[in-house]
Every structure is written in C-alpha cells, then in structure tokens.
Amino acid sequence: MKTKIILSLSFLLALITFGFAQQETKKQRKETQKIESQKETALLIDSKTFVFVATRALPQGYKSVDLTTNPNFVQFEPAFIKSEMPYFGKATGSVAYGGGGGLDFEGIPEKYTFTKSDKSYAIKAVVRGEKDSYTISLTVFFTGNASMTISSNTRSSISYTGTISKSNKKK
C-alpha cells in the first residue's frame, strides 16, 4: 500500500514539474509580445497606409485635453492624407472669431519624408488644404504609440499623443 502511495505521489510530482517547465516566464511572454508589437508596427509603417488616433491633445499654452471620447483621426495613405482632428488653441490671420472648427483637411502631400532611428520612425508631410497649408510631424515608436504635431499658417501648432492602427476606411 505504501509503495502505491509513494509511486502515485512521485508520478504526480513528475507531472507537475514537467508541466511547469514548459510554461513561459512572465518576462519571456512580455518580450514575445514586445517583438510582435514591433513587427506589427513595422508592417503598418512599411505599408504607408495607417490611421493615427489621438488620446490626448497638448495645445501650446493650455492644459492637455483628453480625447478618448472625442472621435478624431489622421489617415495616411501613399498619395493622400485626411485629417479630422479637434483644435484647441489660438487662431491668427484670416480665421474668423469662433470659426474654423478643428483641423479638418485632406489632400495630396506636397512633401513626404520618412526616417527610421533606433527606437522610432519619423514621418513629416506638408499638405495644402482649401484655406491653409499644414505641416504634420509624426513620430511612431516601435510599440505602436505615437506623437504628432500639426502646424499651420493661421493657427498655433498643437501636439497629440495616441496610437497608430490599420486603416479600415474605404474611399
């Protein structure tokens, strides 16, 4: 009887030991997720078709604004950029008081540059809208997080933080 109990316990102990030996550690899982995230970001950037969605706006001279409940995006395509971003800041020049709304524009980029550094991608584009010219500076980190600054001739520049994702909009 003792022999059966000892054999059963040793068999159970061996099963548990081998079962835990096959599991990834938390650190290994995190590293695997990080590598997968970097690959997904690289594929998005290489396709040149993606959408930036902001979670926070950082206007010059004002407090940051949470945008999680405010629909917004900048859609990047090889020959087309469309923006529907909210604007918080000072307008100068030909913008009427209370007019202008957000940074809503679309057009073919006049200039488009792309550089890769050790930890991020930098994309700069100049787009001429109906009434203004916009300079977009987008920094995308390998994790998929991004920061973007939009400057125009008639408004002070504004920065946004957010993420990039696959574009699912059809023309």
Cβ-contact 138, 122 below 8 angstroms: yes
Task: Enter the tokens of residue 140.
Answer: 């995308």
**Domains detected in the chain:** 27-166 (2.40.128.410)
Local confidence pLDDT in tens for the 171 residues of the chain: 778 788 777 777 776 766 665 566 788 888 888 888 888 888 888 888 899 999 999 988 888 899 988 889 999 987 899 999 998 877 776 655 555 678 888 899 999 888 988 889 999 999 988 878 999 999 999 888 999 999 988 888 999 999 999 887 654
Q: How far apart are CA 138 and CA 159, in angstroms?
A: 10
Show the CA angle centred on residue 130, arms to residues 169 and 132, nearest 5°. Answer: 110
pTM recorded for the entire structure: 0.76
Q: How far apart are CA 149 and CA 161, in angstroms?
A: 9
